[in-house]
């Protein structure tokens, strides 16, 4: 078994994830795994980094596929006895003018951004070694979508006692409410992406609390963040940040020094803790 530190970035064949891997290859003292659902796109991205003189390793990972997540989990367990850094970056967004029915957009978006990310966490968080760092890439849209929720929902999403099961129930309810055409009446904002990212931010707050309760002495720091508005296939060419600039806050959180005691359980943008 290798004692080399290991970092894993989900959805890193392009965009911000790719830039996070590039930065980690330069700064992380260990093996860096670029992961992708499509091995061809993943290997191509690894080769691109190789041309820049950087060495990333590849492992397949589709966060929508529990078998794929478990295969990565078993690989990390066997080869490294766990992992040191996990960046949950993989995500999707329908374009604004997409005509796919809203209920379908809700189901598909929540499936990857919330349920997929949660499944990765469920399988990989127990493997995170002491002083490990976990970064969940959310979005400022989670904050604006929170503002668009009913008072009752806002209270639930800001609660310091909400459980993961309760959050899953709420995310499931959103999808069901969209199918019944009742989501706005039930206090939800009109954004599937926004609700999925509320899920990611609140999940991060819950997971950080669980780490405090269950692994107090392990000094693991887990946070959610927004990369900013970044020029990628998701956000388009008009966005203000380059992918490397978008990687800065996630990489800052992934590389928090081993003696740092925070941030933990926070939502950050531009390396600054934001009020939730």
Is 95 a residue that touches ligand NAP (CB under 6 A)? no
Q: Is 90 in the site for ligand NAP (CB under 6 A)?
A: yes
Helix residue ranges per DSSP H, 7-137: 15-27, 39-51, 66-80, 102-110, 117-124
**Interacting positions 29-58 with ligand NAP (CB under 6 A):** 36-38, 41
Q: What is the DSSP string of 197-212?
A: HHHHHHHHHHHHHHHH
199 in contact with ligand NAP (CB under 6 A): no
Q: How far is the CB of 127 from ligand NAP (least distance, A)?
A: 18
- Rounded to a whole number of angstroms, the minimum distance from the CB of residue 110 to ligand NAP is 12
For the chain, give percent helix, strand, coil, nearest 5. 50, 15, 35
Question: Do the bridges between strand 267-269 and strand 221-226 make them parallel or antiparallel, or are there none, so unpaired?
Answer: parallel
Q: Which residue from 60, 7, 65 is spatially nearest to 36, judged by alpha carbons?
A: 60
Distance of CA 100 to the CA centre of its chain: 24
For the question of residue 33 being annotated catalytic, the response is: no
Nearer to ligand NAP, 69 or 220 (CB): 69
Residue 37 or 118: the one with the smaller Cβ distance to ligand NAP is 37
Q: Which of residues 216-275 bind ligand NAP (CB under 6 A)?
A: 226-227, 229-230, 232-235, 239
Among 57, 92, 255, 273, binds ligand NAP (CB under 6 A): 92
Instruction: Please give the size of the binding site for ligand NAP, defined by CB under 6 A.
Output: 33
Q: Which position among 5, 6, 9, 17 is part of the footprint of ligand NAP (CB under 6 A)?
A: 17
Among the residue ranges 71-79, 89-97, 166-174, 175-183, the one whose residues contact ligand NAP (CB under 6 A): 89-97
Among 139, 191, 201, 207, binds ligand NAP (CB under 6 A): 139
**Residue 191 to residue 94: CA distance in whole angstroms:** 10
Classified as helix, coil or strand, 111 is: helix
Which one-letter DSSP state was computed for residue 271? T
**Of 159 and 269, which has the nearer Cβ to ligand NAP?**
269
Radius of gyration of the chain (CA): 18
CB nearer ligand NAP, residue 131 or residue 239: 239
State yes or no: residue 177 binds ligand NAP (CB under 6 A): no
CA angle 202, 203, 204 (to 5 degrees): 90
Q: What number of residues does the chain have?
A: 276
Of 84-92, 159-167, 171-179, 204-212: span binding ligand NAP (CB under 6 A): 84-92
By CB under 6 A, is residue 134 in contact with ligand NAP? no
Q: Is 63 in the site for ligand NAP (CB under 6 A)?
A: yes
List, as one string, the DSSP characters of 116-184: IHHHHHHHHGGGEEEEEEEEEE--HHHHHHHHTS-HHHHHHHH-SS--HHHHHHHHHHHHHHHHTT-TT
- Give the residue numbers annotated as catalytic, written as ranges: 193
Q: Which residues bind ligand NAP (CB under 6 A)?
A: 10-11, 13-17, 36-38, 41, 61-64, 89-93, 112, 116, 137, 139, 226-227, 229-230, 232-235, 239
């Amino acid at each position: 078994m290798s004692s080399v530190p290991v970092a894993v970035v989900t959805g890193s064949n392009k965009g911000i994830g790719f830039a996070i891997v590039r930065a980690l290859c330069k700064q992380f003292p260990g093996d860096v795994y670029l992961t992708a659902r499509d091995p061809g796109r993943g290997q191509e991205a690894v080769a691109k980094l190789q041309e820049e003189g950087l060495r990333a390793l590849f492992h397949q990972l589709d966060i929508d596929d529990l078998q794929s997540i478990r295969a990565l989990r078993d690989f990390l367990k066997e080869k490294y006895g766990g992992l040191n850094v996990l960046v949950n970056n993989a995500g999707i967004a329908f374009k604004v003018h997409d005509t796919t029915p809203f209920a379908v957009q809700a189901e598909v978006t929540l499936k990857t951004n919330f349920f997929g990310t949660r499944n990765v966490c469920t399988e990989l968080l127990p493997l995170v070694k002491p002083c490990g760092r976990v970064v969940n890439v959310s979005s400022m849209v989670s904050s604006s979508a929170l503002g668009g929720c009913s008072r009752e929902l806002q209270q639930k999403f800001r609660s310091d006692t909400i459980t993961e099961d309760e959050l899953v129930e709420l995310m499931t309810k959103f999808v069901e409410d969209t199918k019944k055409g009742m989501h706005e009446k039930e206090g939800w904002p009109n954004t599937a992406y926004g609700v999925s990212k509320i899920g990611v931010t609140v999940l991060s707050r819950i997971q950080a609390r669980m780490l405090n309760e269950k692994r107090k002495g392990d000094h693991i720091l887990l946070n959610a963040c927004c990369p900013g508005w970044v020029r990628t296939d998701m956000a388009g060419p008009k966005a203000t940040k380059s992918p490397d600039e978008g990687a800065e806050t996630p990489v800052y959180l992934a590389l928090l020094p081993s003696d740092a005691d925070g941030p933990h359980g926070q939502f950050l943008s531009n390396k600054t803790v934001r009020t939730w």
